[in-house]
Amino acid sequence: MSVRPNAVRGVRVGLVSDTHGLLRPEALAALVGSDAIVHAGDIGSADVLEALARIAPVHAVRGNNDRGAWASALPETLTIEIAARRIYMLHDLGTLGFDPRAMNIDVVVSGHSHRPNCETRNGVLFVNPGSAGPRRFRLPVSVAHLVLGARRVDAAIVTLDVALPSPKRPARAATLPRGSSP
């Protein structure tokens, strides 16, 4: 993919994972302005990829829950180059079987855990954008932005403003004052 860096901001890559068929409007809004979008698996349906492609070119890998003809066409891992930076994509970071630095990888993008995270290890930036789909436990719903500049690579997690489900409380029987009747 040939994307030229913007002299001021670099190339902006939207990162998303674990949509599980739910592409929230908040996630779409957060990805607007991306020059490219990376989906790290558990997409849920081809419709999700089509909606993302209306924003920017999409690169996607298959997650452990992606099934069907549309999903079988997706690779389990993918290495792409954008703005002279090598990005390695996979769904489950636990299956990474090599040293990314030794393979000249600048960024590793993964999903699976639903836990957003950005950290640099041994000179390689590892980003998990978290889950942009159904909330899992009390984890945030999020995407990430990756900015590929001429001299540096930056990433930021974007927590989406999605209300937490109200806690489920057991129904309590109404009590009447003594001596009252219904």
Q: What is the mean pLDDT of residues 46-53?
A: 97
Task: Evaluate if residue 57 carries a pLDDT over 60.
Answer: yes
pLDDT-derived band at 6 (thresholds 50, 70, 90) equals: very low
CA-nearest of 114, 176, 113 to 140 is: 114
- Here the tokens at position 18 are 């674990």
Distance (Å, rounded) from C-alpha 54 to C-alpha 34? Answer: 11
Give residue 166's pLDDT. 53
Give residue 146's pLDDT. 97
Range of the domain at 101: 11-159
> Is 172 a member of any domain?
no
> Is 182 a member of any domain?
no
> Is 16 a member of any domain?
yes
What CATH number does the domain containing 72 carry?
Answer: 3.60.21.10
> Is 173 a member of any domain?
no
pLDDT in tens, 9-32: 699 999 999 999 999 999 999 999
What would you measure as the largest C-alpha separation in the chain, in angstroms?
81
> Is 20 a member of any domain?
yes
> Is 100 a member of any domain?
yes
pLDDT in tens, 131-173: 999 888 888 999 999 999 988 999 999 999 887 655 554 444 4
Give residue 171's pLDDT. 44
Q: Name the more confident of 171 and 42.
A: 42
Contacts of 160 (CB under 8 A, 6+ apart): 24, 26, 27, 30, 132, 140, 141, 142, 143
Using DSSP bridges, classify how beta strands 107-109 and 85-90 pair: parallel, antiparallel or unpaired.
parallel
Distance (Å, rounded) from C-alpha 42 to C-alpha 65? Answer: 5
Distance (Å, rounded) from C-alpha 131 to C-alpha 40? Answer: 10
> Is 176 a member of any domain?
no
> Is 174 a member of any domain?
no
Number of domains in the chain: 1
The 10 Å Cβ neighbour count of residue 47 is 13
